[in-house]
Amino acid sequence: MVKTGKKRSYEDYCAAAHALDIIGERWALLIVRDLLLGPKRFSDLRNGLSSISPNVLTQRLNEMESSGVIIRRKLPRPASAWVYELTPWGQELEPLVLQLARWGVRSPFFERGRALGPDALLLSFKAMFDPSAASDQTLSIGVRIQGEDFHAHVKNRQMTVTRGHAQAPDAMIEASTQILLNLAYGGLDPDTAAQAGMIRYSGDVYALRQFFAVLKLPELAMGDPDHA
Same-domain check for residues 85 and 174: no
Give the mean model confidence (pLDDT) for residues 204-221.
95
Q: Is residue 219 in a domain?
A: no
Q: Is residue 66 in a domain?
A: yes
Around Cβ 194, how many Cβ atoms within 10 Å? 16
Q: What is the pLDDT of residues 180-192, one digit of tens each?
A: 999 999 999 999 9
Q: What is the pLDDT of residues 60-109, one digit of tens each?
A: 999 999 999 999 999 888 877 999 999 999 999 999 999 999 999 999 99
Q: What is the pLDDT of residue 114?
A: 87
Q: Decide: 20 and 6 in contact? Cβ < 8 Å.
A: no
Task: Examine the fold and report which residue of 92, 123, 144 is the final residue of a domain before the chain moves on.
Answer: 92
Long-range contacts of residues 122-127, Cβ cutoff 8 Å, at least 24 apart: 122/37, 122/150, 122/152, 122/161, 123/33, 123/36, 123/37, 123/97, 123/98, 123/161, 124/184, 125/152, 125/159, 125/161, 125/184, 125/215, 126/98, 126/159, 126/160, 126/161, 127/98, 127/99, 127/101, 127/102
Tally the domains of the chain.
2
Same-domain check for residues 25 and 53: yes
Q: What is the pLDDT of residue 7?
A: 56
Q: What is the pLDDT of residue 2?
A: 43
Exposure string over 9-32, b if 16+ CB within 10 A, otherwise e: eeeeeeeeebeebbbebebbebbb
Q: What is the pLDDT of residues 16-46, one digit of tens each?
A: 999 999 999 999 999 999 999 999 999 999 9
Q: Is residue 167 in a domain?
A: yes
Q: What is the pLDDT of residue 228?
A: 45
Q: What is the pLDDT of residue 223?
A: 61
Q: In the predicted model, is pLDDT for residue 4 greater than 50?
A: no
Range of the domain at 56: 15-92
Same-domain check for residues 135 and 201: yes
| Model confidence band, residue 6 (pLDDT cutoffs 50, 70, 90) | very low
Q: What is the pLDDT of residues 101-154, one digit of tens each?
A: 999 999 999 998 888 899 999 999 999 999 999 988 999 999 999 899 999 999
Same-domain check for residues 37 and 85: yes
Same-domain check for residues 63 and 144: no
Same-domain check for residues 49 and 128: no
